[in-house]
A and B are shown apart, each in its own frame.
Chain A
Amino acid sequence: MNSKMLQYVLKRVLLALLTIWIVITVTFFVMHAVPGGPFIGEKAISKEAQAALEAKYGLDKPLMEQYTTYLKDIVTRFDFGPSLKQRGRMVTDIIADGMRTSAKLGVIAACIAAFIGIVLGAVAALRRNTVLDKTIMVITTAFVSMPSFIMGSLLLVLFSVTLKWVPANGASAGGLILPVITLALYPMAYITRLTRSSMLDVLGQDYIRTARAKGVSRRRIIFGHALKNSLIPVITYFGPMLAYITTGSMVVEQIFAVPGIGRQFVSSITNRDYTMIMGTTIFLATMIVIMNLVSDLLYKVVDPRIEFE
């Protein structure tokens, strides 16, 4: 790593920290401004009990003080506090629990999507305007335009309810197969289309023509020159996609009853579970910032001509 790159990384990390700080601040104050609170339920508890709970979790203090305490706790001790709703559990434990499932699902789905997507995209580009190309394009268009709740429900009805091949819930063995497929289909189709157009672009470049003219084998042209260079847009897409897909898809987790982190995002907000809202938001923001940084750095690996500034 040269000094220019180091400088670049440093700059980006600082920028990332600033971004996360802004996310924390905005979320914190917006969250407290929304009506309702963590201890309001259908059946009211006494004022004394409410006060006791607020004191226990420090919610009786002035908002500014709560904010500074919160920041101090996460910076100095990496302490995100206890969940206000799931009594007795720590926010970090809940996130870690959910992430184990979501990350497993997401990584498998992302890998399948990338592998199949790149292969199909390359094949379509190389066999341009053939029946094969057109078939691939039609299918991928369908997958890109079909929302995951429809795709998920269709797969569920077909493979779980009618054929009974796999369980319909993520808690049972084999129950993650359908969610993985549902999660993978959209990015797979998208990557196929990205790879195809980018590859077509690269195949029309002068250096490919030169390589062909001097008799380089077709295999070497494709794998040595064309594919590598056509992956830049795919990489741009892959980083943030990996961040989103591994931090849980609410819809897919809901349909298949998968114990992932996605459902926690939503339920923490409806429950006004302040510490969980903060924890999950910070976590998601951090993941996205990191993945963006990683994919920017990957450009350099793929294309040494790219300069960091």
Chain B
Amino acid sequence: MKKLLSLVLALSMVLSCAALSYAEGEETSIAVSIASEPDTLDPALNSAVDGATLIAHLFSGLSTWAQDENGNLVIVPDQAVELPAAVINEDGTATYTYTLADGLTWSDGKPLTAADYVFAWKRAASEALAADYGYMFEVVKGYPDDLAVEATDDKTLVVTLNNDVSYWNELLAFPTYLPVREDVVANEAWATDPATYICNGPYIMSEWAHNSKIVLTKNPAYAKADGIKMDKIEFYLSDDANNMLSNFKNGDWLLIDDVPTAEIATLKAEYPTEFVVAGQIGTYYVCWNVNADILPADTTLTGVEAENARAEIRNAIALLFDRNYIVREIGQAGQVPASSFVAMGMTDADGSEFYKNAGSADFTGYYDVSEEAYESNWASAVETLKKYYAFDEATQQFTNFPTMEYLYNTSEGHKAIGEYLASALAGIGITMNLTNQEWATFLNTRKDGDYTIARNGWLADYNDPISFLDMWVSASGNNDVQFGKDAHKDIAAYSIDLTDLGIDVKVENGTWAQTYDVIINLVKKCTDKDTRYKLMHRAEDLLMSTGAIVPLYFYTDIYMIDDSVEGFFSNPLGYKYFMYCTVNK
């Protein structure tokens, strides 16, 4: 026993000493933590922001995000010599021809050709791969299984789109559009091991300790390697905001992409220059199930009349919420109160902000969410609700509003917002109980329309309002509101008139499919920029008129970055770029 014990002791001492020794390097390096283990680093399969950040360092496509001399974000050519305008064909399709730069190679030294792009794009779009973002190729003719893209020689790539789209150059910088090589991806596990991870970007993957860290080192074969300032980037994989903060505070990690919600107020005060609130194109909102009945039990309204009443009720309830209170007291991260669905950060046809042109001309959005307007909003909401529900003047409470369940996914932040919404409704006698479900169950319940009112949120995939609007067509998999489904399918309550835009479409009392779906289809085919954006405003007008979407605020992206780091930037989709960073310590 004694021998065993001494052996154990000796062993434990040796092991802990071994663990103590520190390794030191000499090249420029930065340690950061943006998220936990990525699900995949295959550019075609990735659908996460953290994965996209890593991929943006490892791969290079036809275009890329960069900062110009004024610090503004721009899309610039990367592997393409230039980003030419489209040639519009007779049938309205648009053809782009790209020339690849000279001397492009893969990280294993083999030459990169236009055929690699053809292969990669066809693979990413194919139904067989079933990539989350396969639909990013929807704009390309022949999607999904017969993409109109070809390599006319080793350096020339020709692609034809159904019609010209304004965000095409931005799509070229999106991970799904990055090239991969056929023999590399033939091995299904290629993207999980540095030895088989052949890429073509500024960095190569030199280490991936799963669930621990990913190390990127500069790729000497990268054509623009001279411009890359950081030699080595260590991405630590952590999903715990408290742990990230500890590592930031002790100086080990220079950027962390998450902080504990409870600490936000303290951190803002304690680290005024290092706590950063950046824009992010996304909307936090509440959605109603359009098929859930919220009218009083003894109502005589049916069909279209009932739906019109529900729309009015939902729009009234949207006025009862004080969005300024939510962002100030609960969100605490510089979020912007929202009263339209398409998020802040999306540009309009003339380059101005899309959300500022939405809704009423008198204020921003579909209702006035300024601090001053709250009281009158509340009063007008109560007046509207009185049309449908019994109101007790003595207690100022509605007495026959059916009890509702507010569905949200388990999280302190969502709970706090749910509690606030419930308390606002309780003020006029509406009972809304909170129900939380674990993430995967929640997604399922919401998608199936098995709820009355639920928490929701949407982050854009690219800078075009259509990425917010096409999710509400009847057949969309993201149509949580259930527009045009079940009972709502036959409700002919909507009218559109597009003749003033020069489009021969006028529908009175049509169903969702005959109105909203039609506008979205027109947007996708429209080649005139002005008209296209006007159509998108019309679509949002129709969407908001249903009251089924209750925007609360536009998201922001908060992160902490050490003062010693210079040259860092992030793009509107939240990808973070470390290649041009220097650390002055």
Contacts and interface: CB of A to CB of B under 8 A. Distances in A.
Interface of A: 34-37, 40-50, 52-53, 56, 85-90, 94, 97-98, 101, 104, 108, 111-112, 114-115, 118, 153, 156-157, 160-161, 164, 167-177, 180, 223, 227-228, 231, 254-257, 259-260, 263-264, 270-272
Contacts of B132: 41, 43, 45
Interface string B95-132: 00000000000000000000000000000000111111
Size band of the B side of the interface?
Answer: 35 or more
Interface in B233-254: 236-240, 242-244, 246-247, 249-253
A39 to B, nearest CB: 8
Closest 5 A-B residue pairs measured CB to CB?
Answer: A44-B477, A36-B440, A259-B211, A259-B212, A49-B130
B250 A160 contact: yes
Contacts of B130: 45, 48-50, 52-53, 56
Nearest to B410: A270
8 contacts: A37-B440, A97-B211, A114-B8, A160-B246, A164-B250, A167-B252, A169-B247, A270-B440
B20 interface: yes
A35 B39 contact: no
B573 to A, nearest CB: 13
Nearest to B24: A173
B211 A104 contact: no
Interface in B1-30: 1-2, 5, 8-9, 11-12, 15-16, 19-23
Given A45-B134, A114-B8, A168-B247, A97 B478 contact: no
A285 to B, nearest CB: 22
B247 A41 contact: no
A43 B210 contact: no
Given A86-B192, A171-B209, 9 more contacts: A49-B131, A49-B134, A52-B129, A87-B42, A108-B11, A177-B16, A257-B244, A264-B211, A270-B439
A255 B242 contact: yes
Nearest to B251: A164
B189 to A, nearest CB: 4
Contacts of A118: 5
A118 B37 CA distance: 39
Nearest to A162: B250
B447 A256 contact: no
Contacts of A52: 127-130
Contacts, number: 177
B191 A88 contact: yes
B240 to A, nearest CB: 5
B69 interface: no
A52 B236 CA distance: 33
Interface string B251-289: 111000000000000000000000000000000000000
B39 A86 contact: yes
B190 interface: yes
A255 B131 CA distance: 33
Given A41-B47, A97-B210, A177 B478 contact: no
Contact of A36 (B16, B129, B443, B457): B443
B22 A227 contact: no
Contact of A43 (B5, B47, B211, B242): B47
Contacts of A172: 252
A184 to B, nearest CB: 9
Q: Which of A44, A56, A264 is packed against the most chain B CB atoms within 10 Å?
A: A44
Contacts of A263: 211, 239
B210 A174 contact: no
B441 interface: yes
A254 B242 CA distance: 9
